[in-house]
Structure 1
Amino acid sequence: MKETDCATTANVLTAAEWGDDDENTPVYAVVSAVAKVEDTDPVDLPPLYNAIDSEALNNLFTSRSESTVEQLTFQYAGYTIVVSGSGEVHVKSDSEA
């Protein structure tokens, strides 16, 4: 794993990256990373919108946003999710976050 702007990489179960294109969004990276940890298909996970406003998450970190948010942490599917403005998503166990 490369160096990251996320607060700490300790206890990270997996990491994913997102980009500026329409297909590789922060939402896609979150769901893909949690699916990887759970060893399941992303469609079998609970809806992300139950944890966070998906559209707002994408808008907050995309290049079309003028936001200066560096990092956002929230809970999803039993994990702590850390999304960084540098384009990374870290999935941490809730018990270790």
Structure 2
Amino acid sequence: MGTAETEVGYGVSAPLYETRHDDDTSLGVTIIDAIAAVEEIDPMCEDLGLYESVDLEAVETLFEHRPSGERWRFEFTAGGYTVIVDGDGFVTVFE
């Protein structure tokens, strides 16, 4: 699994999609919507296979209990994409 901390141009591709999670929806929905946007599919009609890659409820719990004032990040792969959720609520999808 690669890291996205490296500058673009040094072995890491530019993000395919980035969004910021808001408190009006669950983090899982934000992640699903981000991957669906990259795939250009309706997230309500397609099986993205995320549940085979990551427990979205666990990610939500980790995000909710992240330490304040410290850098936090969760990274996983799903469907050939690397997904990074950071402590500021950004969800970024890389190829």
Q: Normalization by structure 1: what TM-score? A: 0.73
Pairing of 1:62-77 with structure 2 (within 5 A): 62=64, 65=65, 67-68=66-67, 70-77=72-79
Q: Report deviation, 1:37.
A: 0.8
Of 83, 89, 92, which aligns to 1:90? 92
8 Å CA contact retained: 1:73, 1:80? yes
Q: Deviations over 1:14-35 (max 9, x none)?
A: 10111234xx222111110111
Aligned length: 83
Separation in 1, partners of 2:75, 2:40: 22
Change (3 A) 1:86 1:18: same
Give identity over the alignment, percent.
31
Matched, 1:16 2:27: no
Q: Which runs of 5+ in 2 are unaligned?
A: 9-13
Separation in 1, partners of 2:79, 2:7: 19
Q: Normalization by structure 2: what TM-score? A: 0.75
Of 53, 60, 63, which aligns to 2:62? 60
Q: Deviations over 1:55-79 (max 9, x none)?
A: 11111112xx2x3270011001110
What SS class does the counterpart of residue 16 from structure 2 fall into? strand
Q: Rg bigger for which structure? A: 2
Q: Amino acid of the residue matched to residue 45 of structure 1?
A: D
Change (3 A) 1:15 1:76: same
